């Protein structure tokens, strides 16, 4: 699964799945652009990438802003001359019941999770089409497939949008030799997930430890994801071994969702 010499952009690279994936890409041989809305997070990940003797570039970018997306891609091409891989990972949410969601919640979540993924994909595809090659990997969620433990309905809808986008983009970009796939993580130990866990524990009047035990008990394999589990799938989908895989959505969830 070598990625030697390829250039990858990872959004939301400062923490969690994004950071783990950026490091995994570098370990597999890629040069990596670590993009994050938090400049310090992006810089910390870029510094860690250089520990693998790979080139790295930290870019501060809000993927809900099209000017930032364009600047991110232009900066990548200026530094490396091309873009081979996009991991559209940046996402936001909060724990809320369906009757508690506000218009502001909807707009914030969809601005990043759906709009951001689409326009990152579109902008990167403008570079990949002339190359006649590219791998686009979108981070969706089992929430988009009906997982009952989703943080909220707006989040689930945004991730369902990513799944649909992935399938359509794969059909339309396939003739340009661009593969488009999505990963649907299940319960994953990240700062965002842990914040939702704490809210849920307060709602039920139990300890965070008890709430964590309950969510793991619902996983058939009895183990939550570490970010590295998602990163491993991302590396595979970016690798030559996945050259004929496109338009697919892969659950990495320990067996929670059957399809």
Which among 56, 71, 78 has a CA at the least distance from the CA of 10? Answer: 56
pTM, two decimal places: 0.94
Q: Of 147, 155, 236, 250, which residue is the catalytic one?
A: 155
- What value does the mean pLDDT of the chain take? 96
- One DSSP character per residue, 163-188 reads HHHHHHHHHHHGGGTEEEEEEEE-SB
* Domains annotated on the chain, with CATH: 7-188+227-252 (3.40.50.720)
Q: Inform me whether the pLDDT recorded for 75 exceeds 70.
A: yes
C-alpha distance from residue 124 to each of 50, 133, 136, 193 (Å): 23, 11, 9, 28
**pLDDT-above-90 percentage for the chain:** 90
Q: Inform me whether the pLDDT recorded for 65 exceeds 90.
A: yes
pLDDT band of 1, cuts 50, 70, 90 = low
Q: Summarize the confidence of residues 150-174 as an average pLDDT.
A: 98
Count of other CB atoms within 10 angstroms of residue 154: 24
Task: For tokens 């986008």, name the residue.
Answer: 165
d(CA 173, CA 126): 10
pLDDT in tens, 163-204: 999 999 999 999 999 999 999 999 999 888 888 888 888 888
pLDDT in tens, 39-52: 999 999 999 999 99
Q: Inform me whether the pLDDT recorded for 258 exceeds 90.
A: no
d(CA 157, CA 148): 13
d(CA 62, CA 129): 24
**pLDDT-above-70 percentage for the chain:** 100
* CB hemisphere CA count around 35 (13 angstroms): 26
- Asked if 155 is an active-site residue, the reply is yes
């Amino acid at each position: 699964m070598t990625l030697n010499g390829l250039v990858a952009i990872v959004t939301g690279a400062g923490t969690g799945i994004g950071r783990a994936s950026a490091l995994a890409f570098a370990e597999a041989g890629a040069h990596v652009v670590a993009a994050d809305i938090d400049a310090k997070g992006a810089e910390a990940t870029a510094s860690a990438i250089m520990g693998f003797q790979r080139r790295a570039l930290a870019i501060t970018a809000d993927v809900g802003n099209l000017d930032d997306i364009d600047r991110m891609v232009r900066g990548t091409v200026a530094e490396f001359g091309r873009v081979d891989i996009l991991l559209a990972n940046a996402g936001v949410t909060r724990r809320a019941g369906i009757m508690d969601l506000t218009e502001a919640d909807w707009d914030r979540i969809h601005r990043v999770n759906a709009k951001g993924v689409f326009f990152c994909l579109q902008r990167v595809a403008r570079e990949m089409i002339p190359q006649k090659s590219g791998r686009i990997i979108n981070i969706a969620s089992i929430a988009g497939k009906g997982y009952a433990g989703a943080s909220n309905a707006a989040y689930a809808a945004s991730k369902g949008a990513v799944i649909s986008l992935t399938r359509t983009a794969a059909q339309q970009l396939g003739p340009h030799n661009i593969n488009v796939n999505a990963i649907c993580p299940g319960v994953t130990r990240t700062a965002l997930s842990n914040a939702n866990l704490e809210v849920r524990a307060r709602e039920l009047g139990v300890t965070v430890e008890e709430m964590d035990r309950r969510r793991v008990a619902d996983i058939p394999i009895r183990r939550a994801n570490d970010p590295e589990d998602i990163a491993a799938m991302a590396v595979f989908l970016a690798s030559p071994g996945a050259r004929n895989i496109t338009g697919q959505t892969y659950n990495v969830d320990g067996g929670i969702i059957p399809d």
